[in-house]
């Protein structure tokens, strides 16, 4: 455990940048993720992809679907894992129920925002997200371009 006043060591593996462009993030939750040995080794190499992935509830449990963790190269084909298999998310029952209640609202989805190691354990940050309309996306692009121009002007 982390000592008082000391920040936990966090190593970012993958970030879902597309989710921040396509969705408004209403709430965030940190969840553990159940992995096999070769998946952990592949993540330690720093390779994973969260685009097009989402979380779904089944029988009181939460699963991460379409998250791609590539096979670990040194392991043989018999010991390796399926790259896009569903992975169980580790949360308390109350947290799962709260997330699923929020997801039942119209237009909401559970989207993974980032995947990282925190004190040696794999964690995924899940966001309760609502889809953006196309005009919201255009506003985000215009805002990003304006910020880029301001930064260029400051450097000159």
β-pair type (23-33, 121-131): antiparallel
pLDDT, averaged across the chain: 84
Residue 1 falls inside a structural domain: no
Residues 6+ apart with CB under 8 A from 59: none
Domain count for the chain: 1
pTM as predicted:
0.75
pLDDT of residue 57: 84
What pairs with residue 128 in β-bridges? 27, 110
Express each pLDDT in 22-75 by its tens digit.
888 888 899 999 888 888 888 888 888 888 888 888 888 899 998 888 887 777
- Residue 80, SS3 per DSSP: coil
Please check whether residue 27 is in contact with residue 95, taking contact to mean a CB–CB distance below 8 angstroms: no
Q: How many CB atoms lie within 10 A of CB 98?
A: 15
Give the residue numbers spanning the domain of 125: 10-131
Return the CATH number at 70.
2.40.280.10
pLDDT of residue 32: 92
Residue 151 falls inside a structural domain: no
Is the predicted pLDDT of residue 89 greater than 70, yes or no?
yes
């Amino acid at each position: 455990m982390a000592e008082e006043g000391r920040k936990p060591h966090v190593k970012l593996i993958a970030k879902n940048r597309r989710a921040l462009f396509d969705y408004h993030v209403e709430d965030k939750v940190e969840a553990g993720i159940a992995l096999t040995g070769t998946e952990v080794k592949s993540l330690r190499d720093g390779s994973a992809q969260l685009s097009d992935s989402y979380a779904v509830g089944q029988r009181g449990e939460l699963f991460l679907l379409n998250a791609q963790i590539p096979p670990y190269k040194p392991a043989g084909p018999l010991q390796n894992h399926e790259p896009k298999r569903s992975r169980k998310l580790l949360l308390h029952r109350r947290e799962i129920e709260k997330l699923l209640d929020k997801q039942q609202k119209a237009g909401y989805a559970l989207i993974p925002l980032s995947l990282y190691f925190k004190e040696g354990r794999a964690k995924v940050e899940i966001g309760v997200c609502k889809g953006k309309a196309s005009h919201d996306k255009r506003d985000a692009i215009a805002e990003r371009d304006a910020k880029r121009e301001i930064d260029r002007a400051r450097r000159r």
